[in-house]
Amino acid sequence: MPVVDVDPDELRRLTGHEEKDDDELKEDLFALGLEYEGETEAGEMQLEFGPDRLDRLSVEGVARSLRYQYGDDRGVYVPDTNDADWTIAVDESVPDERPYVTGAVVRGVDLDDDALDSLIQLQEKLHATMGRKRAKGAIGIHDLTMLKGEVPGGEGGPTITYRGVAPDGDRFVPLDADAEMTPADVLEDHPTGRTYASLVEEYDRYPAIYDEIGLFSFPPVINGRRTEVSTGSRELFVELTGTDQWTIDRMCNIVCYALDARGATIERVDVDYPDGTLSRPDFDVEEKTVDHAQIERMLGVDLDPETAVDLFERSGLDAESEASETPRKDGEAVDDAPAYEVSIPPYRVDVLHPYDLVDDVGRAYGFNELDPRYPDVATVGGRHDRSKLEDAARRSLVGLGFEDLLNFHMISEEENYDRMRVEPGTDAVGGGDPVTITEPYSEDYTMLRTWALPSLMMVLENNTHRAYPQDLAEIGLAAERDDDENTRVAEHRTVAAVLARHDATYEDAKARLAALCADFDADLRTPRTDHPAFIGGRVAEVVVDGDAVGVVGELHPEVLVEHDLELPVAAFELRLDALK
């Protein structure tokens, strides 16, 4: 979940509530859904929240939400914008994989160190979330005064161009570098370039932005040094490229709102695509219809319409009441209950459905103000047959003196097969084909276990310093590859048990297996068999009610030594469903 670092003093200043102490702020933020996680070395509050309200990824956005919460601001706010001077021309050479661009000009900014840090933080957090690590959208912020947009002797306003460039087609000095590099050099030699190389390295042409002087930005990888923003910058050019126009437009809006909150003026730019021109940033206000009944249903309380409108406005929304045609859920017509035409400000990225607006009303109302009630619906509870059987078998094993264990279903090939002397793809119990994890991150967990005895052997191995006897049992999942299954995985519950004691014999294991089977009125036979994990002549197939369902025997000395054990182990394993 996103975490935003916020200086509490700056937050007080931006909300205009100098009187709030840190604890009050934390409480107010909690009610908004921002959880205080701790503080940074610099004393900033680290606030964690769900990745819906990405407009809160900076102190300016958090302050805006708090001002609405406190009732200091109401309704939709849209910053004024000046007419476009600059144009972003989109050239046909733009890579097909990343065709979209947007942007804005911001004038009259006054960036002190805090404001600059906040802007950089906002940019990075937007990259991490909405931008999907820059794959879907990436932001570049430039010092406008370093751009040269006028075509000498040309007509029209200043222009920058979004286009494609051959990997080694041009040179520029990227941020944090001293020499000119080609985009291909950047991907190979620049630390930031290496980090983001995978985003573009497959492209034929790399994305690039040019002004009259030349290449100054290589999105989504790195900006050029020429246009680097500093605390001295007073005018900014914000550009965003990406794979979806709406996404980068909204990211742009969030950045513009944050700068507007610092007193800057937003100036539109024209984005000139070959097939038409867009005016950006897109501050259009969207509308959705919310039924009053929907609000009451969700909150479980009666609300008069004035209160509802008030709550909308305190969420930074506008609500226009209108008569509703929508019947209630129970079919009863509700002519008197209104609906609201709700306006949504353009920094909101989370509103997909009227319900999302009802949630805003609930947050403004204060969910913790609601009286909990136990729902008055009667249902009959019960356990699943499989889990009842599992519990019954577990009780039997515990009654027989076994310590019940609980191990991971994921295991390594080495543990599951090699250390047990079992080959994959064989008929032996445990010899089923593995279900492997495509990209395992730990060599200890690369597949689902095909049987549970290896897990118990690992527990014995890790507990040789504990008192014996160690009589252990586990009932749990085992799985093997089976393409006839819809999931391609045949899952079953398995019952495994080991007796590790100085005098453990085949007979000890069989006696307990027989007792277990007797508990479930299952007919047990143990015809001799061979199994590589067990000593020849001291291992039998477990046949229950005529079906071969497992194995019982004394473990092979090689397996014991492999697991650092210095005493015999008798064991059995069978399918749980054999006891049904």
Partner 1 sequence: MQLPESQVAVLNAASATEEQTIERLAEVTDLEPETVTGAVFDLRDDGLLAVEERVEETVELTEEGELYADDALPELRLYDAAVELGADEAAVPMGQVVGASGLEGPRVDIALSNFARKGYGSIDDGEVVADADADPEADAEARALEAIAAGDDVDVEPATLDRLESRGLVVRDEHTVRSVTLTDAGVTALMEGVEVAETVDRLTPELLTSGEWRDVEFTEYNVEADAPEIRGGRTHILRQTADRVKDVLVGMGFEEMEGPHADAEFWINDCLFMPQDHPARTHWDQFALDVPPMEDIPDELLERVADAHRNGVGADGDGYRSPWTEEVAREIDLRGHTTSLSMRYLSGFAQGELDPPQRFFSVEKVYRNDTLDPTHLLEFFQIEGWVMAEDLSVRDLMGTFEEFYNQFGITDLQFKPHYNPYTEPSFELFGHHPETGELIEIGNSGMFREEVLRPLGVDCDVMAWGLALERLLMLIYGFEDIRDVHGTLCDLELLRETEVLH
The least distance separating partner 1 from the CB of residue 368, rounded to whole angstroms, comes to: 6
- Say how far apart CA 571 and CA 554 lie, in whole Å: 6
| Secondary structure letter of residue 181 according to DSSP | B
Cβ–Cβ < 8 Å for 412, 444: yes
> In whole angstroms, what is the distance from residue 534 CA to residue 550 CA?
13
Among 194, 284, 297, 528, binds partner 1 (CB under 8 A): 297
Nearer to partner 1, 230 or 486 (CB): 486
What mask, x for binding partner 1 by CB under 8 A, covers residues 350 to 379?
xxxxxxx-xx--xx---xx-xxxxxx-xxx
Q: What Rg value do the Cα atoms of the chain yield, rounded?
A: 33
**Chain centroid to CA 184: how far?**
31
Among 153, 331, 382, 546, which residue interacts with partner 1 (rule: CB under 8 A)?
382
Which residues, at least 6 apart from 306, have a Cβ–Cβ distance to it below 8 Å?
none
Query: In whole angstroms, how close is the CB of 508 to partner 1 at the nearest point?
Result: 14
Q: Does 463 bind partner 1 (CB under 8 A)?
A: yes
| Closest of 306, 236, 302, 239 to residue 270, by C-alpha | 239
Is 302 among the residues that bind partner 1 (CB under 8 A)? no
Residue with tokens 């297996």: 513
157 binds partner 1 (CB under 8 A): no
Instruction: Pick the closer one to partner 1 by CB: 80 or 330.
Output: 330
Region binding partner 1 by CB under 8 A among candidate stretches 81-89, 177-185, 291-299, 529-537: 291-299
Residue 489 in contact with partner 1, rule: CB under 8 A: yes
Largest CA distance in the chain: 101
Q: Which is nearer to partner 1, 131 or 224 (CB)?
A: 131
By the rule CB under 8 A, 179 interacts with partner 1? no
**β strands within 166-292, DSSP E:** 206-210, 215-218, 222-223, 235-242, 265-267, 269-273, 276-280, 286-291
Q: How far is the CB of 135 from partner 1 (least distance, A)?
A: 8
Q: How near is the Cβ of 550 to partner 1 at its closest, in Å? A: 20
Smallest separation (angstroms) from partner 1 to the CB of 346: 14
Say what angle helices 8-15 and 59-70 make with each other, to 10 degrees.
Answer: 50
The minimum distance between CB 133 and partner 1, in angstroms, equals 8
- Cα separation of 195 and 201, whole Å? 11
Using the rule CB under 8 A, which residue among 471, 508, 541, 573 binds partner 1?
471
Which of the residues 398 through 437 are near partner 1 (CB under 8 A)?
Answer: 398-410, 435-437
Among 18, 304, 329, 335, binds partner 1 (CB under 8 A): 329
User: Which is it for the CA torsion 25, 28, 32, 38, positive or negative?
Assistant: positive
CB 432 to partner 1: min, Å: 13
Binding mask 50-89 for partner 1 (x = CB under 8 A): xxxx------------------------------------
Please identify, using beta-carbon distances, which residue of 275 and 302 lies nearer to partner 1. Answer: 302
Residues 6+ apart with CB under 8 A from 382: none
Half-sphere exposure of 534 (CA within 13 A, CB side): 27
Q: Does 125 bind partner 1 (CB under 8 A)?
A: no
d(CA 570, CA 469): 12
**Roughly what angle, to the nearest 10 degrees, separates helices 292-299 and 305-313?**
80
Considering only the stretches 177-185, 381-389, 544-552, 560-568, report the one whose residues sit in contact with partner 1 under the rule CB under 8 A. 381-389
Question: Counting contacts by CB under 8 A, is residue 392 touching partner 1?
Answer: no
Q: How far is the CB of 523 from partner 1 (least distance, A)?
A: 25
Question: Coil, helix or strand for 495?
Answer: strand
Instruction: Please report, as residue ranges, which positions from 438 to 457 form the binding site for partner 1 (by CB under 8 A).
Output: 438-442, 445, 448, 455
* Nearest of 8, 71, 58, 62 to residue 34 by alpha carbon: 62
Instruction: Give the nearer residue to partner 1 in terms of CB position, either 51 or 169.
Output: 51
Q: Does 289 bind partner 1 (CB under 8 A)?
A: yes
537 binds partner 1 (CB under 8 A): no
Q: Which is nearer to partner 1, 7 or 474 (CB)?
A: 474
Tell me whether residue 208 or residue 357 sits nearer to partner 1 (CB atom).
357
Query: Could you give the CA distance from residue 84 to residue 99 in angstroms, rounded to a whole number?
Result: 22
Q: Residue 169: name the closest of 187, 185, 182 by CA.
A: 182
CA atoms within 13 A on the CB side of 478: 24
Q: Does 515 bind partner 1 (CB under 8 A)?
A: no
Q: What angle do CA 249, 159, 131 make, to 5 degrees?
A: 25
CB 315 to partner 1: min, Å = 12
- Nearest-angstrom CA–CA distance, 236 and 145: 8
230 binds partner 1 (CB under 8 A): no
Task: Characterise 341 by phi-psi region: left (phi > 0), alpha (psi -120 to 50), beta (else).
Answer: beta
- Residues 126-155 interacting with partner 1 (rule: CB under 8 A): 129, 132, 136
Please give the Cα distance from 103 to 160 (Å, whole number): 11
Measured from the CB atom, is 51 or 424 closer to partner 1? 51
Give CA 148 to chain center in angstroms.
41
Count of residues that bind partner 1 according to CB under 8 A: 101
At 142, give phi and psi (nearest 5°).
-125, 155
> Least distance from C-beta 381 to partner 1, angstroms?
4
Q: Residue 114 or 244: which CB sits closer to partner 1? A: 244
| Footprint (CB under 8 A) of partner 1, residues 256-275 | none
Which positions from 26 to 45 touch partner 1 by CB under 8 A, shown as an x/- string?
----xxxx-x----------
Helix (H, G, I), strand (E, B) or coil at 469: coil
CB of 436: closest distance to partner 1 in angstroms?
Answer: 5
